Amino acid sequence: IWKNLPHLKAVVIYGEPPPTQMPSVYTMEEFMELGNEVPEEALDTIINAQKPNQCCALVYTSGTTGKPKGVMLSQDNITWTARYGSQAGDIQPAEIQQEVVVSYLPLSHIAAQIYDLWTGIQWGAQVCFAEPDALKGSLVNTLREVEPTSHMGVPRVWEKIMERIQEVAAQSGFIRRKMLLWAMSVTLEQNLTCPSSDLKPFTTRLADYLVLAKVRQALGFAKCQKNFYGAAPMTAETQHFFLGLNIRLYAGYGLSETSGPHFMSSPYNYRLYSSGKVVPGCRVKLVNEDAEGIGEICLWGRTIFMGYLNMEDKTCEAIDPEGWLHTGDTGRLDADGFLYITGRLKELIITAGGENVPPVPIEEAVKTELPIISNAMLIGDQRKFLSMLLTLKCTLDPDTFEPTDNLTEQAVEFCQRVGSKATMVSEVVEKKDEAVYQAIEEGIQRVNMNAAARPYHIQKWAILERDFSISGGELGPTMKLKRLVVLEKYKDVIDSFYQEQKENFLNEAFWNINCTEHRLTEDQALYQQKQSQKNPFGFFFLFSQHVIQNVIKPPEKSTLLPEFR
């Protein structure tokens, strides 16, 4: 592909050297040696030519159409955010405390750039680069070796740690399980009721000393005082899980267009479920607020990007004449200035891994590939993978325009072509017609093959028993899909895509703790009300089984996280 990249000067290979010598292809060692050939005068000239308003970095992000946009960040954007954004997160300069961080996320991600590189340069942090397979198995080994003082990950990374612990934990005995259950439950209860108190009850301090401190040490977080997440929302389940380990997860909120964090949480500015407070020196306002105080989040300050590369029209859409960036996200601010994200005006899906996925092109591709499909709705916001709800083309009642059970001629032809005799929706769905289901699976796999990247793949899907309609509430007057209605109406189907099997007794055990007796903040109480049908503690039991066995009484060679070796 080199011939198609006229501006490409060189390729630097990290790892194994190329089998044969090639022009303009360097190993990392050879590339670093090139700097020795550049005279100091030339370097001074380059450095002195840099101006605050010049573009420093291009970070590509997806828009609602799915086409990548080059976010131009200036020298001032980067240096200002690295200094004041990190201060808002309580990152310390080297003369006060030697910060140690592990860099493992792709540096094309603005959060990784700001946290790993620019903040490290700003404050003299010790940055340790993980192995390339960090997310496949070696991350925890690196964390144990390095013992970072702060750590940052997208929600999917934290979820992956939680999931792997839960998977391997199921091998421990009942007594050890009970011991960790006790430690995590009393710690979670304390952290929910008194999140900012430094005066911990004796039982909480005992639980931490006997159990939880050893767990954190096994994870590599023995010295970690600040754990951050960003790029996507995090579920309450994940936050509760780590609170049970006495690990607070501090949220940051921002975009590529804000050079990373515009809001930050820290040990001194923390409220559960919030995205923190605005970074000092930056501003925020909510426009078009509703009766509940929810409006579009607009941001202003020296974090705001220069514009999109060669896309002046898109830049003008994002930044108004007064310099306010319209994020397309909705939220509310409490009386103390903490931000709570409530949704998005735009339909862009942000997965748990921080991937931006425009749903419409994928949905249209499925309908094009499978002419039997009437409606397709992509699911995946705050989820670890994409799934999809499908409806089949059916005839409409001539009087009520309600969807009937009869397939359209086009749908029947599709069935016949794939070897099915079905003529009704119920025949396909209730009997799970093998020929039709197989054909749909093959069609979705063809769509996946043409996807931009693996995070865009549809991994699970379901056919609904009835097509979407205006009377059913799924479609608006103009036949536009009402996504929030669909999410609520078919919540059980969607949850089944992501539901992990858990032993019943695990959930029952944790109901001994009465969460409704907690003295919660207004925001926590609101969450508890919405989650009253769920068990926020059940996931702890799985965690306990293996960790007690291998952490409190560790073997010579730890097997805590085999995929993170």
The full 3-state SS of 358-393, as one line of letters, equals: CHHHHHHHHHHHCCCEEEEEEECCCCCCEEEEEEEC
Q: Has this prediction a pTM greater than 0.75?
A: no
Cβ atoms of residues 323 and 300 within 8 Å:
yes
Tell me whether residue 384 is in a domain. Answer: yes
Instruction: Give residue 512's pLDDT.
Output: 37
Is 171 or 467 the better-scoring residue by pLDDT? 467
Structural domain containing residue 388 = 356-498
Tokens of 547: 């960790």
Task: State how far the Cα of 91 lies from the Cα of 98, in Å rounded to an integer.
Answer: 10
Structurally, the chain folds into a number of domains equal to 2
Helix (H, G, I), strand (E, B) or coil at 288: coil
Point out the domain boundary residue: 454, 482, 498: 498
Which pLDDT does position 234 carry in this prediction?
Answer: 81
- 258-302 tens-digit pLDDT: 999 999 999 989 999 999 999 999 999 999 998 889 899 999 999
Inside any domain, residue 405: yes
Assigned domain for 80 exists: no
- 380 lies in some domain: yes
C-beta atoms surrounding 165 within 10 Å: 25
Q: Can you tell me whether residue 554 is helix, strand or coil?
A: coil
Last residue of one domain, picked from the residues 440, 473, 498: 498
- Write out the two tokens for 260: 């990373």
Count CA within 13 A, CB hemisphere, residue 421: 0
What was the pLDDT predicted at 167?
Answer: 59
Give me the CATH number covering residue 420: 3.30.300.30
* φ, ψ for residue 554, nearest 5 deg: -70, 145
pLDDT at 197: 62
Identify whether 158 is part of a domain: no
Cβ proximity of 319 and 124 under 8 Å: no
All residues at 6 or more sequence positions from 438 whose CB lies less than 8 Å from its CB, including other chains: 418
Asked if residue 29 is part of any domain, the answer here is: yes
Report the half-sphere exposure of 153 (CA within 13 A, side-chain side).
24
- Write the pLDDT tens digit of every residue in 381-407: 989 999 999 999 998 887 777 899 999
Q: Which of 470, 498, 526 is the last residue of a domain?
A: 498
**What's the confidence (pLDDT) of residue 294?**
86
Residue listed under structure tokens 């992501």: 498
Please indicate, yes or no, if residue 110 is contained in any of the structural domains.
no
Residue that wins the pLDDT comparison between 454 and 415: 415
The number of residues making up the chain comes to 565
Q: What pLDDT sits at residue 449?
A: 94
Q: Quick check: is 460 in a domain?
A: yes
The answer to whether residue 548 scores a pLDDT higher than 80 is no
Return mean pLDDT, the chain: 83
> Out of 65-69, 256-260, 313-317, 529-533, which region has the weakest mean confidence (pLDDT)?
529-533
Long-range Cβ contacts of 207-211 (<8 Å, 24+ apart): 207/182, 207/183, 208/183, 208/246, 210/183, 210/552, 211/179, 211/180, 211/183, 211/184, 211/548, 211/552
Token couple for 49: 């030519």
